[in-house]
Structure 1
Amino acid sequence: MNKTLLTLAMALAASGTALAAELPDNIKAAGKVVVANTPNYPPMEYRDPATNELMGLDIDLGTALAKQLGIEVEWSDIGFEQMISSLTTGRVDLIESGMSDLPKRRDALDFLDYMKSGAQFYSTTAHKDEFKQPTDLCGKTIGMSRRTSFPDETAKWSAANCEAKGLPAIKVVGTEGSADARTQLKQGRVDAAVQGSETLPYLMSVDKGAFFTIGEPYTAVYQGIGFDKTKPELRDAYIDGLKALMENGEYKKIFTKWGLEGAMLDGIYINGEARK
């Protein structure tokens, strides 16, 4: 190893040691964090059908953050609706699972935001001539995961863009998850569906020619890593870890790998606010 590379390696090692010192004592003693994750939301988190290996942007980012802090990750497969209670009761240390940073969740959580997202309408290509713009969905049946913020957001969008203009309301159908919504869409049980805008390019690349998006995302939110609001030490260590990944290029490398460079943030955001 030449002198320049050796100096860089020593600097990175020293940085990791310094960040590890910021961790809460129980995390340092365990040498790991237990992270809530539901692997059913590609490309954020999913299992490789061939190997059952856990993979996705959240997995890569979570692993890189833990490495930066000198600890391991233990991924805990927990239903999305159970994640916040699992965190506040101490079953897990943090949440990293494509969770939107919403004001109503901030009563219990602090979010370290790491990407931009938005709710997006889409349908099967059989409807491409029928649904040319979002308002063509007024009066139609739209499927979306009931565990997410999508049902409320879609009802609000419908009130403003359909009912307020004398058009029939969208019929919101809560599903058991995004995969269930896609199944119902393919079976013709719903006319269209909603997913996070970050997931649709991957979905359309895997199932070529099956789907198309309708308009632009109709919400703008951040996705964040969730921490127990009463335990800020772990959050603060992760803030410094993410800052280090942004500075050394690893953050951009991960987003580029998953084709989501457009979802990257330009700095550190906590609970939707830029940290100075």
Structure 2
Amino acid sequence: MGNWKTLLFLLMAAVLVLAACSEDKGEASDNEYGLTEKGKFTYAASGVYKPFSFEENGELTGFDIEIGTEIAKRMGLEANPVTNPFETILQGLVANKYDAIIGSMAYTKKRAEQAAFTQPYYYSGGMIWIAKDNDEIKTPEDLKGKKIGVVSQSTYEEPAKTLSDDIQYYASDVVALKDLTIEGRLDAVITADIVGFEAIENGFAIKEVGNPLWVEQPSIAVKKDNEKLRDAIDQALQEMIDDGTYEEISQKWFKRNLLDIDLEDAELLE
């Protein structure tokens, strides 16, 4: 009888040890990516950049949000999208408020000093937009002395400053483009070609000036020292591209593949 008790005790001890090891392994797995919240992939977008990220019926939706949701699923994590104003979104990442930025942030060398970036998850062109009835502005040079609207801390801010000294800052491209249609508010807006064409489809009386000034490489940003998370996101993104899931999401929101672009003669923004 004593032997049975001893054996039972040893079995119970073994179970407890295995459970502890399993728990430790789970915690290590969760902490492998340095997540801000256990079991969740928390990623930020502005929430005011339709059709990339916006609120509908009280919930975040859009292209960026769906890309993040699919990446989280492939990493075995719960998707947890949050919003942060674009002008401080990079600072929020550095401060560990979230794990990643999936908010249409283009890669630049300057931003890479503060964050690690994945491969591009789409391409877009920086384009000048004016009111549909504006016949005065036909080239970038015509913007000298004109009031240009841009989103603060965006990649459009510095180019705008080279074209005019009169810059109006916004938190949302959509609001800037809306002001463009109101007489006396703005002369031009510099933003992504995708956003402008989407605005036209939604009834905005605007038009583009010439061709895109450059091609941007919106990428997913994580903390600079978190290469494990960056690599895991890259792997999930590549899997999405390879199996057609990316194509489905892109076609849903834009009726085209945002990665399908000829970069041979393009000037890439860096």
Normalization by structure 2: what TM-score? 0.77
Q: Separation in 1 of the partners of 2:36 and 2:161?
A: 45
Return the letter of the residue paired with 2:142: D
Partner of 1:245: 240
Deviations 1:35-60 (A, max 9, x none): 11111111111122xx2332111011
Which of residues 45, 49, 56 in structure 2 aligns to 1:37?
A: 45
Superposition CA RMSD, Å: 2.4
- Between the two proteins, the alignment pairs up a number of residues equal to 232
Q: CA deviation at 1:150?
A: 1.1
Q: Separation in 2 of the partners of 1:100 and 1:38?
A: 14
Q: Separation in 1 of the partners of 2:152 and 2:72?
A: 31
| Structure having greater relative contact order (Cα 8 Å, sep ≥ 6) | 1
Structure 2 gap ranges (5+): 1-28, 262-267
Structure 1 gap ranges (5+): 1-20, 159-168, 267-271
Q: CA deviation at 1:130?
A: 2.8
Structure 1 residues 31, 22: closer, same or farther in 2, change over 3 A? closer
Which of residues 76, 84, 90 in structure 2 aligns to 1:84?
A: 90
User: Which runs of structure 2 are paired with 1:51-200 in the superposition (5 Å)?
Assistant: 51-112=57-118, 113-127=120-134, 129-156=135-162, 158=163, 169=164, 171-187=166-182, 188-200=184-196
Aligned 8 A contact 1:147 1:177 in 2? no
Q: CA deviation at 1:170?
A: 6.0
Partner of 1:4: none
Partner of 2:211: 216
Q: CA deviation at 1:147?
A: 2.5
Aligned 8 A contact 1:140 1:191 in 2? yes
User: Which runs of structure 2 are paired with 1:14-29 in the superposition (5 Å)?
Assistant: 24=32, 27=35
Task: Confirm or deny that 1:236 pairs with 2:263.
Answer: no
Identity of aligned residues (%): 25
Task: Confirm or deny that 1:261 pairs with 2:261.
Answer: no
Q: Separation in 2 of the partners of 1:264 and 1:22?
A: 31
Task: Confirm or deny that 1:47 pairs with 2:55.
Answer: yes
Aligned 8 A contact 1:22 1:233 in 2? no
Structure 1 residues 73, 124: closer, same or farther in 2, change over 3 A? same
Deviations 1:69-113 (A, max 9, x none): 121111121122322222222221111111111111111111112
Q: CA deviation at 1:237?
A: 0.7
Partner of 1:14: none
Q: CA deviation at 1:174?
A: 2.3
Aligned 8 A contact 1:114 1:265 in 2? no
Which of residues 205, 209, 212 in structure 1 aligns to 2:201?
A: 205
Q: Separation in 2 of the partners of 1:212 and 1:193?
A: 10
Structure 1 residues 29, 106: closer, same or farther in 2, change over 3 A? closer
Instruction: Mark the structure with the bigger radius of gyration.
Output: 2
Q: Separation in 1 of the partners of 2:237 and 2:30?
A: 14
